[in-house]
Structure 1
Protein backbone atom coordinates (compact mmCIF):
# COMPACT_ATOMS: atom_id res chain seq x y z
CA UNK A 1 0.00 0.00 0.00
CA UNK A 2 1.81 3.10 -1.20
CA UNK A 3 1.85 6.34 0.78
CA UNK A 4 0.25 8.23 -2.09
CA UNK A 5 -2.70 5.88 -2.38
CA UNK A 6 -3.28 5.97 1.39
CA UNK A 7 -3.23 9.75 1.49
CA UNK A 8 -5.74 9.92 -1.34
CA UNK A 9 -8.18 7.44 0.16
CA UNK A 10 -8.21 8.17 3.88
CA UNK A 11 -11.07 10.62 3.79
CA UNK A 12 -13.20 8.22 1.75
CA UNK A 13 -13.17 4.97 3.70
CA UNK A 14 -10.64 3.24 5.94
CA UNK A 15 -12.74 0.08 5.67
CA UNK A 16 -12.26 0.11 1.90
CA UNK A 17 -8.48 0.36 2.34
CA UNK A 18 -8.39 -2.63 4.68
CA UNK A 19 -10.72 -4.83 2.59
CA UNK A 20 -8.64 -4.01 -0.48
CA UNK A 21 -5.47 -5.09 1.35
CA UNK A 22 -7.12 -8.34 2.53
CA UNK A 23 -8.20 -9.04 -1.04
CA UNK A 24 -4.62 -8.42 -2.20
CA UNK A 25 -3.26 -10.79 0.46
CA UNK A 26 -5.67 -13.49 -0.67
CA UNK A 27 -4.44 -13.02 -4.21
CA UNK A 28 -0.84 -13.36 -3.02
CA UNK A 29 -1.66 -16.67 -1.33
CA UNK A 30 -3.95 -18.19 -3.97
CA UNK A 31 -2.70 -16.62 -7.20
CA UNK A 32 -6.22 -15.48 -7.97
CA UNK A 33 -8.83 -13.15 -6.55
CA UNK A 34 -11.04 -15.64 -4.72
CA UNK A 35 -13.01 -13.16 -2.64
CA UNK A 36 -14.41 -9.76 -3.59
CA UNK A 37 -13.64 -6.90 -1.21
CA UNK A 38 -17.34 -6.09 -0.88
CA UNK A 39 -18.04 -9.51 0.71
CA UNK A 40 -15.01 -9.69 3.02
CA UNK A 41 -16.49 -9.81 6.55
CA UNK A 42 -15.22 -6.81 8.50
CA UNK A 43 -16.49 -5.07 11.63
CA UNK A 44 -15.41 -1.75 13.13
CA UNK A 45 -15.28 -1.31 16.92
CA UNK A 46 -14.25 1.12 19.60
CA UNK A 47 -12.49 -1.09 22.17
CA UNK A 48 -10.42 0.01 25.16
CA UNK A 49 -10.08 3.50 23.69
CA UNK A 50 -8.79 2.06 20.42
CA UNK A 51 -10.33 2.12 16.96
CA UNK A 52 -10.26 -1.46 15.71
CA UNK A 53 -11.30 -3.35 12.60
CA UNK A 54 -11.76 -7.11 12.84
CA UNK A 55 -12.12 -9.55 9.95
CA UNK A 56 -13.57 -13.06 9.97
CA UNK A 57 -12.34 -13.85 6.46
CA UNK A 58 -10.28 -16.88 7.59
CA UNK A 59 -13.28 -18.34 9.42
CA UNK A 60 -15.46 -17.67 6.39
CA UNK A 61 -13.04 -19.47 4.06
CA UNK A 62 -12.42 -22.46 6.35
CA UNK A 63 -16.03 -23.08 7.26
CA UNK A 64 -16.27 -25.60 10.12
CA UNK A 65 -12.55 -26.45 10.17
CA UNK A 66 -11.05 -24.39 13.06
CA UNK A 67 -7.46 -25.57 12.55
CA UNK A 68 -7.59 -24.62 8.89
CA UNK A 69 -9.08 -21.23 9.81
CA UNK A 70 -6.27 -20.40 12.23
CA UNK A 71 -3.56 -21.44 9.76
CA UNK A 72 -5.23 -19.39 7.07
CA UNK A 73 -5.42 -16.38 9.39
CA UNK A 74 -1.71 -16.66 10.21
CA UNK A 75 -0.82 -16.80 6.50
CA UNK A 76 -2.96 -13.74 5.79
CA UNK A 77 -1.43 -11.82 8.68
CA UNK A 78 2.08 -12.53 7.38
CA UNK A 79 1.07 -11.13 3.98
CA UNK A 80 -0.76 -8.16 5.45
CA UNK A 81 2.21 -7.16 7.60
CA UNK A 82 4.32 -6.96 4.45
CA UNK A 83 1.68 -4.85 2.68
CA UNK A 84 0.54 -2.51 5.46
CA UNK A 85 2.88 -0.19 7.30
CA UNK A 86 3.09 -0.70 11.07
CA UNK A 87 2.42 3.05 11.32
CA UNK A 88 -1.02 2.40 9.83
CA UNK A 89 -2.20 -0.50 11.99
CA UNK A 90 -1.07 -3.17 14.43
CA UNK A 91 -2.25 -6.50 13.01
CA UNK A 92 -2.78 -9.48 15.28
CA UNK A 93 -4.49 -12.85 15.50
CA UNK A 94 -7.46 -13.09 17.88
CA UNK A 95 -8.79 -16.51 18.86
CA UNK A 96 -10.18 -18.50 17.20
CA UNK A 97 -9.11 -17.00 13.84
CA UNK A 98 -10.01 -13.32 13.76
CA UNK A 99 -7.64 -10.86 12.10
CA UNK A 100 -7.58 -7.62 14.07
CA UNK A 101 -6.34 -4.21 12.91
CA UNK A 102 -5.67 -1.64 15.66
CA UNK A 103 -5.48 1.72 13.91
CA UNK A 104 -2.38 3.73 14.77
CA UNK A 105 -2.42 7.47 15.35
CA UNK A 106 -0.82 8.02 11.94
CA UNK A 107 -3.73 6.26 10.23
CA UNK A 108 -6.35 8.33 12.03
CA UNK A 109 -4.36 11.50 11.53
CA UNK A 110 -4.09 10.70 7.83
CA UNK A 111 -7.85 10.15 7.57
CA UNK A 112 -8.47 13.47 9.29
CA UNK A 113 -5.90 15.20 7.08
CA UNK A 114 -7.70 13.96 3.99
CA UNK A 115 -10.89 15.61 5.18
CA UNK A 116 -9.06 18.80 6.18
CA UNK A 117 -7.46 19.01 2.72
CA UNK A 118 -10.90 18.65 1.24
CA UNK A 119 -12.42 21.30 3.51
CA UNK A 120 -9.77 23.85 2.53
CA UNK A 121 -10.77 23.53 -1.15
CA UNK A 122 -14.49 24.18 -0.64
CA UNK A 123 -16.53 26.96 0.89
CA UNK A 124 -17.31 26.22 4.52
CA UNK A 125 -19.86 26.64 5.98
CA UNK A 126 -21.66 25.28 2.94
CA UNK A 127 -25.04 26.35 1.66
CA UNK A 128 -27.73 24.03 2.94
CA UNK A 129 -29.88 22.31 0.33
CA UNK A 130 -33.53 23.27 0.27
CA UNK A 131 -34.72 20.02 -1.31
CA UNK A 132 -34.61 18.14 1.99
CA UNK A 133 -36.80 18.53 5.05
CA UNK A 134 -35.53 21.64 6.84
CA UNK A 135 -36.89 20.24 10.12
CA UNK A 136 -34.81 17.05 10.01
CA UNK A 137 -32.32 16.32 12.76
CA UNK A 138 -29.41 16.22 10.30
CA UNK A 139 -30.41 19.63 8.93
CA UNK A 140 -30.48 21.04 12.46
CA UNK A 141 -27.04 19.58 13.18
CA UNK A 142 -25.61 20.98 9.96
CA UNK A 143 -26.89 24.42 11.00
CA UNK A 144 -25.30 23.98 14.43
CA UNK A 145 -21.98 22.91 12.88
CA UNK A 146 -21.87 26.00 10.69
CA UNK A 147 -22.73 28.28 13.61
CA UNK A 148 -20.05 26.77 15.85
CA UNK A 149 -17.43 26.98 13.09
CA UNK A 150 -18.24 30.65 12.49
CA UNK A 151 -17.93 31.33 16.22
CA UNK A 152 -14.55 29.57 16.21
CA UNK A 153 -13.45 31.92 13.46
CA UNK A 154 -14.77 34.96 15.31
CA UNK A 155 -12.90 33.85 18.43
CA UNK A 156 -9.71 33.55 16.31
CA UNK A 157 -9.36 29.83 17.14
CA UNK A 158 -9.67 28.96 13.46
CA UNK A 159 -8.11 31.61 11.25
CA UNK A 160 -5.91 31.99 8.19
CA UNK A 161 -2.81 32.71 10.26
CA UNK A 162 -3.05 29.45 12.25
CA UNK A 163 -1.65 26.28 10.73
CA UNK A 164 -4.80 24.31 11.61
CA UNK A 165 -4.88 22.75 8.14
CA UNK A 166 -1.66 20.80 8.88
CA UNK A 167 -2.50 18.13 11.44
CA UNK A 168 1.15 17.13 11.82
CA UNK A 169 1.28 20.08 14.24
CA UNK A 170 -1.11 18.32 16.61
CA UNK A 171 -1.07 15.20 18.79
CA UNK A 172 -4.25 13.13 19.04
CA UNK A 173 -3.15 12.05 22.53
CA UNK A 174 -4.82 15.18 23.91
CA UNK A 175 -8.28 13.89 22.92
CA UNK A 176 -10.69 12.70 25.61
CA UNK A 177 -12.76 9.50 25.56
CA UNK A 178 -15.81 11.34 24.16
CA UNK A 179 -13.68 12.70 21.32
CA UNK A 180 -12.64 9.15 20.40
CA UNK A 181 -16.20 7.86 20.62
CA UNK A 182 -17.27 10.56 18.20
CA UNK A 183 -14.29 9.90 15.93
CA UNK A 184 -15.43 6.28 15.78
CA UNK A 185 -18.88 7.37 14.62
CA UNK A 186 -17.44 9.70 11.98
CA UNK A 187 -15.27 6.96 10.49
CA UNK A 188 -18.09 4.41 10.66
CA UNK A 189 -20.44 6.78 8.83
CA UNK A 190 -17.85 7.48 6.16
CA UNK A 191 -17.33 3.73 5.70
CA UNK A 192 -21.10 3.35 5.28
CA UNK A 193 -21.12 6.01 2.56
CA UNK A 194 -18.92 3.72 0.42
CA UNK A 195 -21.69 1.15 0.28
CA UNK A 196 -24.77 1.31 -1.85
CA UNK A 197 -27.61 1.99 0.57
CA UNK A 198 -31.27 2.84 0.05
CA UNK A 199 -32.41 6.29 1.13
CA UNK A 200 -33.91 4.95 4.36
CA UNK A 201 -30.56 3.44 5.42
CA UNK A 202 -28.74 6.67 4.61
CA UNK A 203 -31.25 8.58 6.73
CA UNK A 204 -30.57 6.21 9.64
CA UNK A 205 -26.82 6.81 9.27
CA UNK A 206 -27.35 10.57 9.22
CA UNK A 207 -29.59 10.47 12.29
CA UNK A 208 -27.14 8.24 14.16
CA UNK A 209 -24.25 10.60 13.42
CA UNK A 210 -26.40 13.62 14.30
CA UNK A 211 -27.30 12.16 17.71
CA UNK A 212 -23.65 11.32 18.39
CA UNK A 213 -22.70 14.88 17.46
CA UNK A 214 -25.14 16.30 20.01
CA UNK A 215 -23.63 14.01 22.67
CA UNK A 216 -20.10 15.02 21.64
CA UNK A 217 -20.94 18.73 21.70
CA UNK A 218 -22.59 18.37 25.11
CA UNK A 219 -19.49 16.90 26.74
CA UNK A 220 -16.53 18.34 24.81
CA UNK A 221 -15.67 21.97 25.49
CA UNK A 222 -14.46 24.14 22.64
CA UNK A 223 -14.39 27.76 23.76
CA UNK A 224 -13.12 27.32 27.33
CA UNK A 225 -9.69 28.94 27.12
CA UNK A 226 -8.73 27.59 30.55
CA UNK A 227 -9.08 23.94 29.56
CA UNK A 228 -5.92 21.82 29.18
CA UNK A 229 -4.22 21.86 25.75
CA UNK A 230 -6.07 24.95 24.54
CA UNK A 231 -6.16 26.00 21.70
CA UNK A 232 -5.05 22.70 20.08
CA UNK A 233 -7.91 20.71 21.58
CA UNK A 234 -10.39 23.35 20.42
CA UNK A 235 -8.98 23.33 16.88
CA UNK A 236 -9.23 19.54 16.58
CA UNK A 237 -12.79 19.57 17.90
CA UNK A 238 -13.75 22.32 15.47
CA UNK A 239 -12.30 20.23 12.66
CA UNK A 240 -14.40 17.25 13.80
CA UNK A 241 -17.43 19.53 13.65
CA UNK A 242 -16.51 20.70 10.15
CA UNK A 243 -16.10 17.07 9.04
CA UNK A 244 -19.50 16.27 10.54
CA UNK A 245 -21.14 18.94 8.42
CA UNK A 246 -19.31 17.73 5.31
CA UNK A 247 -20.34 14.09 5.89
CA UNK A 248 -23.97 15.03 6.52
CA UNK A 249 -23.87 17.14 3.38
CA UNK A 250 -22.66 14.11 1.39
CA UNK A 251 -25.46 11.99 2.85
CA UNK A 252 -28.00 14.66 1.90
CA UNK A 253 -26.64 14.85 -1.65
CA UNK A 254 -26.76 11.06 -2.07
CA UNK A 255 -30.33 10.97 -0.77
CA UNK A 256 -31.33 13.70 -3.22
CA UNK A 257 -29.94 11.66 -6.13
CA UNK A 258 -31.77 8.48 -5.11
Structure 2
Protein backbone atom coordinates (compact mmCIF):
# COMPACT_ATOMS: atom_id res chain seq x y z
CA UNK A 1 0.00 0.00 0.00
CA UNK A 2 2.77 2.42 0.91
CA UNK A 3 4.66 1.65 -2.27
CA UNK A 4 1.52 2.08 -4.37
CA UNK A 5 0.80 5.52 -2.89
CA UNK A 6 4.33 6.69 -3.61
CA UNK A 7 4.30 5.37 -7.19
CA UNK A 8 0.94 6.99 -7.90
CA UNK A 9 2.18 10.35 -6.61
CA UNK A 10 5.35 10.19 -8.71
CA UNK A 11 3.34 9.22 -11.80
CA UNK A 12 0.97 12.13 -11.21
CA UNK A 13 3.83 14.61 -11.01
CA UNK A 14 5.36 13.30 -14.24
CA UNK A 15 2.26 13.30 -16.45
CA UNK A 16 0.79 16.58 -15.20
CA UNK A 17 3.69 18.91 -16.07
CA UNK A 18 2.83 21.74 -18.50
CA UNK A 19 4.47 25.00 -19.54
CA UNK A 20 3.21 28.52 -18.79
CA UNK A 21 3.22 31.36 -21.38
CA UNK A 22 6.57 32.52 -19.99
CA UNK A 23 8.13 29.07 -20.35
CA UNK A 24 7.89 28.09 -16.68
CA UNK A 25 7.19 24.45 -15.89
CA UNK A 26 3.90 23.89 -14.05
CA UNK A 27 1.98 21.12 -12.34
CA UNK A 28 -1.59 21.14 -13.68
CA UNK A 29 -3.87 18.14 -13.15
CA UNK A 30 -7.23 19.83 -13.82
CA UNK A 31 -8.51 20.27 -17.39
CA UNK A 32 -9.49 23.58 -18.98
CA UNK A 33 -13.10 22.38 -19.14
CA UNK A 34 -13.14 21.55 -15.43
CA UNK A 35 -11.65 24.92 -14.51
CA UNK A 36 -14.04 26.80 -16.82
CA UNK A 37 -17.03 25.12 -15.22
CA UNK A 38 -15.77 25.94 -11.72
CA UNK A 39 -14.99 29.53 -12.71
CA UNK A 40 -18.40 30.08 -14.29
CA UNK A 41 -20.19 28.59 -11.28
CA UNK A 42 -18.24 30.74 -8.84
CA UNK A 43 -18.87 33.86 -10.93
CA UNK A 44 -22.62 33.21 -11.05
CA UNK A 45 -22.69 32.81 -7.27
CA UNK A 46 -20.82 36.08 -6.83
CA UNK A 47 -23.29 37.92 -9.04
CA UNK A 48 -26.15 36.61 -6.92
CA UNK A 49 -24.59 37.41 -3.54
CA UNK A 50 -22.59 40.57 -4.20
CA UNK A 51 -23.82 44.01 -5.19
CA UNK A 52 -23.47 44.63 -8.92
CA UNK A 53 -22.98 48.16 -10.23
CA UNK A 54 -25.27 48.64 -13.22
CA UNK A 55 -24.31 52.22 -14.06
CA UNK A 56 -24.15 52.53 -17.82
CA UNK A 57 -21.18 54.86 -17.95
CA UNK A 58 -19.06 52.82 -15.52
CA UNK A 59 -19.82 49.53 -17.22
CA UNK A 60 -19.16 50.96 -20.66
CA UNK A 61 -15.78 52.30 -19.53
CA UNK A 62 -14.66 49.06 -17.86
CA UNK A 63 -15.92 46.91 -20.73
CA UNK A 64 -14.12 49.14 -23.24
CA UNK A 65 -10.80 48.54 -21.49
CA UNK A 66 -11.42 44.81 -21.00
CA UNK A 67 -12.53 44.32 -24.62
CA UNK A 68 -9.44 46.15 -25.86
CA UNK A 69 -7.27 43.71 -23.91
CA UNK A 70 -9.10 40.51 -24.84
CA UNK A 71 -9.35 41.25 -28.57
CA UNK A 72 -5.57 40.91 -28.84
CA UNK A 73 -5.50 37.44 -27.25
CA UNK A 74 -4.71 34.30 -29.25
CA UNK A 75 -7.49 33.04 -31.50
CA UNK A 76 -10.04 31.09 -29.49
CA UNK A 77 -9.47 33.27 -26.41
CA UNK A 78 -10.63 36.61 -27.84
CA UNK A 79 -14.40 36.38 -27.61
CA UNK A 80 -16.99 35.38 -25.04
CA UNK A 81 -15.58 37.25 -22.04
CA UNK A 82 -18.11 38.41 -19.46
CA UNK A 83 -17.26 41.62 -17.60
CA UNK A 84 -19.07 42.62 -14.41
CA UNK A 85 -18.52 45.67 -12.20
CA UNK A 86 -19.11 44.99 -8.51
CA UNK A 87 -20.10 47.76 -6.13
CA UNK A 88 -17.24 47.28 -3.69
CA UNK A 89 -14.93 49.91 -2.21
CA UNK A 90 -11.83 47.70 -2.29
CA UNK A 91 -9.29 48.45 -5.02
CA UNK A 92 -9.50 45.03 -6.58
CA UNK A 93 -10.24 43.06 -9.72
CA UNK A 94 -10.08 39.42 -10.74
CA UNK A 95 -10.45 37.07 -13.68
CA UNK A 96 -11.64 33.48 -13.55
CA UNK A 97 -11.35 30.50 -15.88
CA UNK A 98 -14.36 30.45 -18.17
CA UNK A 99 -13.62 33.99 -19.42
CA UNK A 100 -14.99 35.93 -16.46
CA UNK A 101 -13.70 39.36 -15.38
CA UNK A 102 -14.80 41.23 -12.26
CA UNK A 103 -13.82 44.79 -11.38
CA UNK A 104 -14.57 46.52 -8.08
CA UNK A 105 -15.69 50.14 -8.19
CA UNK A 106 -13.02 50.95 -5.59
CA UNK A 107 -10.33 50.16 -8.14
CA UNK A 108 -11.46 53.06 -10.31
CA UNK A 109 -10.35 55.46 -7.56
CA UNK A 110 -6.80 54.10 -7.72
CA UNK A 111 -6.54 53.23 -11.42
CA UNK A 112 -7.05 56.79 -12.54
CA UNK A 113 -7.16 56.37 -16.33
CA UNK A 114 -7.70 53.76 -19.03
CA UNK A 115 -4.04 52.75 -19.15
CA UNK A 116 -3.80 52.10 -15.41
CA UNK A 117 -7.03 50.10 -15.46
CA UNK A 118 -5.70 48.13 -18.42
CA UNK A 119 -2.63 47.18 -16.41
CA UNK A 120 -4.86 45.60 -13.75
CA UNK A 121 -7.18 43.83 -16.18
CA UNK A 122 -4.21 42.63 -18.22
CA UNK A 123 -2.64 41.24 -15.05
CA UNK A 124 -5.83 39.39 -14.09
CA UNK A 125 -6.31 37.97 -17.58
CA UNK A 126 -2.67 36.87 -17.35
CA UNK A 127 -3.61 34.67 -14.39
CA UNK A 128 -6.18 32.91 -16.59
CA UNK A 129 -3.87 32.50 -19.59
CA UNK A 130 -1.18 31.03 -17.35
CA UNK A 131 -3.65 28.60 -15.74
CA UNK A 132 -2.73 29.83 -12.27
CA UNK A 133 -6.02 28.72 -10.71
CA UNK A 134 -5.54 25.17 -11.97
CA UNK A 135 -1.94 25.27 -10.82
CA UNK A 136 -2.89 26.38 -7.30
CA UNK A 137 -5.58 23.71 -7.04
CA UNK A 138 -3.14 21.08 -8.30
CA UNK A 139 -0.54 22.10 -5.73
CA UNK A 140 -3.13 21.90 -2.97
CA UNK A 141 -4.28 18.49 -4.17
CA UNK A 142 -0.73 17.16 -4.22
CA UNK A 143 0.02 18.72 -0.83
CA UNK A 144 -3.03 17.07 0.73
CA UNK A 145 -2.25 13.76 -0.94
CA UNK A 146 1.35 13.96 0.27
CA UNK A 147 0.14 14.47 3.83
CA UNK A 148 -2.01 11.36 3.50
CA UNK A 149 0.98 9.42 2.19
CA UNK A 150 3.19 10.55 5.08
CA UNK A 151 0.42 9.63 7.49
CA UNK A 152 0.23 6.15 6.00
CA UNK A 153 4.00 5.76 6.25
CA UNK A 154 4.43 6.82 9.88
CA UNK A 155 1.27 5.17 11.23
CA UNK A 156 -1.17 6.43 13.80
CA UNK A 157 -0.65 8.45 16.98
CA UNK A 158 0.88 11.69 18.19
CA UNK A 159 3.82 11.35 15.81
CA UNK A 160 1.51 11.42 12.85
CA UNK A 161 -0.26 14.56 14.10
CA UNK A 162 3.06 16.33 14.63
CA UNK A 163 4.26 15.54 11.13
CA UNK A 164 0.94 16.62 9.62
CA UNK A 165 1.14 19.94 11.49
CA UNK A 166 4.72 20.46 10.36
CA UNK A 167 3.79 19.77 6.77
CA UNK A 168 0.92 22.23 6.94
CA UNK A 169 3.17 24.98 8.23
CA UNK A 170 5.87 24.06 5.76
CA UNK A 171 3.40 24.14 2.87
CA UNK A 172 2.16 27.57 3.90
CA UNK A 173 5.48 29.34 4.36
CA UNK A 174 7.87 27.11 2.45
CA UNK A 175 6.02 26.19 -0.75
CA UNK A 176 2.57 27.66 -1.37
CA UNK A 177 3.14 31.27 -0.35
CA UNK A 178 6.38 31.83 -2.29
CA UNK A 179 4.76 30.05 -5.21
CA UNK A 180 1.97 32.60 -5.08
CA UNK A 181 4.50 35.41 -5.40
CA UNK A 182 5.96 33.70 -8.47
CA UNK A 183 2.51 33.56 -10.06
CA UNK A 184 1.85 37.22 -9.29
CA UNK A 185 5.15 38.26 -10.83
CA UNK A 186 4.45 36.10 -13.87
CA UNK A 187 1.04 37.76 -14.31
CA UNK A 188 2.67 41.19 -14.04
CA UNK A 189 4.92 40.14 -16.92
CA UNK A 190 2.07 38.77 -19.04
CA UNK A 191 -0.28 41.64 -18.19
CA UNK A 192 2.06 44.45 -19.14
CA UNK A 193 2.65 42.78 -22.49
CA UNK A 194 -1.09 42.36 -23.07
CA UNK A 195 -1.76 46.02 -22.36
CA UNK A 196 1.08 47.14 -24.62
CA UNK A 197 -0.19 44.90 -27.45
CA UNK A 198 -3.63 46.48 -27.03
CA UNK A 199 -2.23 50.00 -27.40
CA UNK A 200 -2.23 51.03 -23.73
CA UNK A 201 0.89 52.77 -22.43
CA UNK A 202 2.83 50.19 -20.35
CA UNK A 203 4.40 52.97 -18.28
CA UNK A 204 0.99 53.27 -16.59
CA UNK A 205 1.58 49.91 -14.88
CA UNK A 206 4.34 51.53 -12.85
CA UNK A 207 2.18 54.58 -12.13
CA UNK A 208 -0.57 52.26 -10.91
CA UNK A 209 1.66 50.56 -8.35
CA UNK A 210 2.83 53.93 -7.07
CA UNK A 211 -0.88 54.73 -6.58
CA UNK A 212 -1.45 51.37 -4.88
CA UNK A 213 1.44 52.00 -2.51
CA UNK A 214 0.09 55.44 -1.63
CA UNK A 215 -3.46 54.12 -1.12
CA UNK A 216 -2.52 51.10 1.01
CA UNK A 217 -2.23 51.32 4.77
CA UNK A 218 0.91 49.24 4.70
CA UNK A 219 1.34 45.62 3.72
CA UNK A 220 3.00 42.63 5.39
CA UNK A 221 6.68 41.92 4.77
CA UNK A 222 7.22 40.32 1.38
CA UNK A 223 8.41 37.00 2.85
CA UNK A 224 5.03 36.63 4.64
CA UNK A 225 2.89 37.67 1.69
CA UNK A 226 1.61 35.84 -1.37
CA UNK A 227 2.10 39.05 -3.34
CA UNK A 228 5.39 40.79 -4.18
CA UNK A 229 5.94 44.11 -2.45
CA UNK A 230 5.01 47.27 -4.33
CA UNK A 231 8.71 48.12 -4.59
CA UNK A 232 9.55 44.74 -6.10
CA UNK A 233 6.75 45.01 -8.64
CA UNK A 234 7.79 48.51 -9.67
CA UNK A 235 11.43 47.44 -10.04
CA UNK A 236 10.53 44.39 -12.12
CA UNK A 237 8.21 46.41 -14.37
CA UNK A 238 10.84 49.08 -14.88
CA UNK A 239 13.21 46.41 -16.15
CA UNK A 240 10.62 45.39 -18.75
CA UNK A 241 9.85 48.91 -19.99
CA UNK A 242 12.29 49.16 -22.93
CA UNK A 243 10.85 46.01 -24.50
CA UNK A 244 7.25 46.90 -23.62
CA UNK A 245 7.57 50.40 -25.08
CA UNK A 246 8.62 48.88 -28.38
CA UNK A 247 5.57 46.61 -28.37
CA UNK A 248 3.40 49.61 -27.48
CA UNK A 249 4.77 51.70 -30.37
CA UNK A 250 4.22 48.85 -32.82
CA UNK A 251 0.64 48.41 -31.61
CA UNK A 252 -0.13 52.09 -31.98
CA UNK A 253 1.37 52.11 -35.47
CA UNK A 254 -0.83 49.11 -36.33
CA UNK A 255 -3.94 51.09 -35.33
CA UNK A 256 -4.50 49.84 -31.77
CA UNK A 257 -5.53 53.11 -30.12
CA UNK A 258 -8.12 52.48 -27.40
CA UNK A 259 -10.18 55.48 -26.35
CA UNK A 260 -12.01 54.41 -23.19
CA UNK A 261 -13.34 57.35 -21.20
CA UNK A 262 -14.17 57.25 -17.51
TM-score where L is the length of structure 2: 0.30
User: Of the two, which has the highest radius of gyration?
Assistant: 2
TM-score where L is the length of structure 1: 0.31
Flag the structure with higher helix content: 2
